[in-house]
Chains A and B, each alone.
Chain A
Amino acid sequence: MSAAIEVEGLSHVYGGTVPALEDISLRVPAGRFTVIVGPSGCGKTSLLMMLAGLRTQTRGAITCLGKPIPQPDPERVGVIFQEASLYPWLTSLENIEFPLSLRGTPKGEMRRRAEAMLELVGLTGFGGRYPHELSGGMKQRVSIARGLVQDPPVLLMDEPFAALDEQTRMTMGHELLRIWSTTSKTVVFITHSLTEAVYLADEVLVMSARPGRIIDRITIDLPRPRTYEMMATDVFGRLRDRIWRQIRKAD
């Protein structure tokens, strides 16, 4: 399988003195779901921002779909943030249309594509609502729709469900897998939740505390589609346990 993202010997020094990331190398095959876990402050968000072209690393190379990514490129990479970061002065539909409108997409096409995304994330009929009229889970759905509307092959997600309650979080994880299975995107997903990591991932990368390094790569070979019942199985437990031990060692 060809690689959607390749990172070679990436290091980052924060503010000229503080080493934040150290010698990160990774390869995300196209269409795969990769989850990055690690202790707080290990630089996983920084890494994601670099993959998105939103921040520049001190050393090393990032290749995204065969080309470097020195600045954001929404044609290749969509980013979904922890806080849904929807614009409160726009309705759900207008928020989803926002990236298209930046590129002067004709109004009719914009509306059509945004409506389709709204349907994909299960929010048909909520297009006219403002973000403050939506629940946390619904906001993240809109945010996902906004990330998908430009149809980028790569989707980067920075703890998108961290602010949600446990129940909503599980539902959203399940929803995300459903959406992912219909779109065949390459996903890099950051989380604190080990259960979420095992449940979602094809591969889990475990990072150490600062300076962040990748200390383990765990292939999750649970069959798809994943089900809630799998969480109770021994295999699931052993995988989660292995990640946990690595993180504890790293901390």
Chain B
Amino acid sequence: MPAPATVRRALLVALLVLWELVPRLGLIPELFLPSMSKTLLVLWQDARIYGHAVLITLMEVALAMVIACGGGILAGAAVGGFARLRNLLLPVFSSLYAVPIVILYPVFTAWFGVGSESKIAFAGIYAFFPVLLSTAAGIQTIDPQFLLAARSMGANLRQQIVRVVIPASLPTVFAGLRLGGALAIIGVVVSEMLTAAAGIGYLVTLNRTILDSPRVFAAILMILLLSIAYYLLSRALERRFVVWQSAGKPLQLAQSPTQSAV
């Protein structure tokens, strides 16, 4: 048996070959599925347009993640760390998480206009909840024995937080950040597709309305690459900072409906 990694690579190559062959052989009309070579060609020809669009999208995603991660970690730490706040707010946040937040997007365009601001706000809020919930879960599920042991060794409150609470909750927080980042990308791209004048999602919609399939697929390809790059980056960061968890048992994210409806 070949190694799983080899099989995966072979599958990927097969998929790419099919992408090239199926439209060329006329099995699927090029309008529905343009061949890989045509898609790559327009990507090459319009490199500047696509590059610019990707940069705008990246900037929006980055700012949305700053809002989501910063706000989510702070709010999650507060909710996870204080029982009163948790009892009061956690049910609210949990149920808000189930709301398809995309319904807010029209409101955001009214408030912030059709420019980047509304995308950043929407994606930021969209990604905020999983970060908040997993941070709260990460802090809440810390083994109380860890803190008891730290106290018995004379740790003061600051040392308990810095030396125990933060490292102990890191794996769960990281899982939330990874999910939050993925949602920020989805949030930005979707909102660009709905109403926008720039960004990679905008290129999908624009070219779809003029039935320019190769350019639609070129944009989709870029989004795909963006997500994969993000995934690899976050894995690498996680491996770097959460040695003990990745080496031991698999991640457990409490309360993680992986992705709610957009």
Using CB atoms and an 8 Å cutoff, list the residues of chain A in contact with chain B: 52, 54, 72-75, 77-79, 81, 83, 85, 87-90, 98-99, 102-103, 130-133, 146, 150
Given A77-B152, A98-B163, 14 more pairs with CB closer than 8 A: A54-B151, A72-B152, A72-B154, A83-B145, A85-B146, A87-B146, A88-B248, A89-B168, A102-B154, A102-B163, A103-B154, A130-B248, A132-B244, A132-B249
Judged by a CB distance under 8 angstroms, whether B164 is at the interface is yes
Residues of chain A with a CB closer than 8 A to B154's CB: 72-75, 99, 102-103
| Contact present for A85 and B148 (CB under 8 Å) | yes
Residues of chain B with a CB closer than 8 A to A73's CB: 154
Docked Cα-Cα span, A133 to B248, in Å, equals 8
* Shortest Cβ gap from B174 to chain A (Å): 12
Residues of chain A with a CB closer than 8 A to B248's CB: 88, 130, 132
Residues of chain A with a CB closer than 8 A to B149's CB: 79, 81, 85
Docked Cα-Cα span, A89 to B216, in Å, equals 46
Residues of chain B with a CB closer than 8 A to A77's CB: 152
Given A88-B248, A89-B243, A130-B244; A81-B145 close (CB under 8 Å): yes
* Shortest Cβ gap from B124 to chain A (Å): 30
| Contact present for B167 and A102 (CB under 8 Å) | no
Q: Which of B146, B155, B243, B245 contacts A102 (CB 8 A)?
A: B155
Residues of chain A with a CB closer than 8 A to B155's CB: 102
Using CB atoms and an 8 Å cutoff, list the residues of chain B in contact with chain A: 143, 145-146, 148-149, 151-155, 159, 163-164, 167-168, 170, 242-245, 247-249
| Contact present for A72 and B243 (CB under 8 Å) | no
| Contact present for B152 and A54 (CB under 8 Å) | yes
* Shortest Cβ gap from B149 to chain A (Å): 4
Residues of chain A with a CB closer than 8 A to B151's CB: 54, 72
Residues of chain B with a CB closer than 8 A to A146's CB: 153
Most chain-B Cβ atoms within 10 A of its Cβ — which of A52, A85, A150? A85
Task: List 5 interface pairs A-B (beta carbons < 8 Å), by A numbering.
Answer: A54-B148, A54-B151, A74-B152, A130-B244, A150-B153
Q: Which residue in chain A gives the minimum CB-CB distance to B154?
A: A74
| Contact present for A89 and B145 (CB under 8 Å) | no
Docked Cα-Cα span, A98 to B145, in Å, equals 15
* Shortest Cβ gap from A22 to chain B (Å): 24
Residues of chain B with a CB closer than 8 A to A88's CB: 244-245, 248
Docked Cα-Cα span, A146 to B163, in Å, equals 16
Q: Which residue in chain A gives the minimum CB-CB distance to B156?
A: A102
Given A74-B153, A102-B154; A132-B167 close (CB under 8 Å): no
Docked Cα-Cα span, A99 to B164, in Å, equals 12
Residues of chain A with a CB closer than 8 A to B145's CB: 81, 83, 85
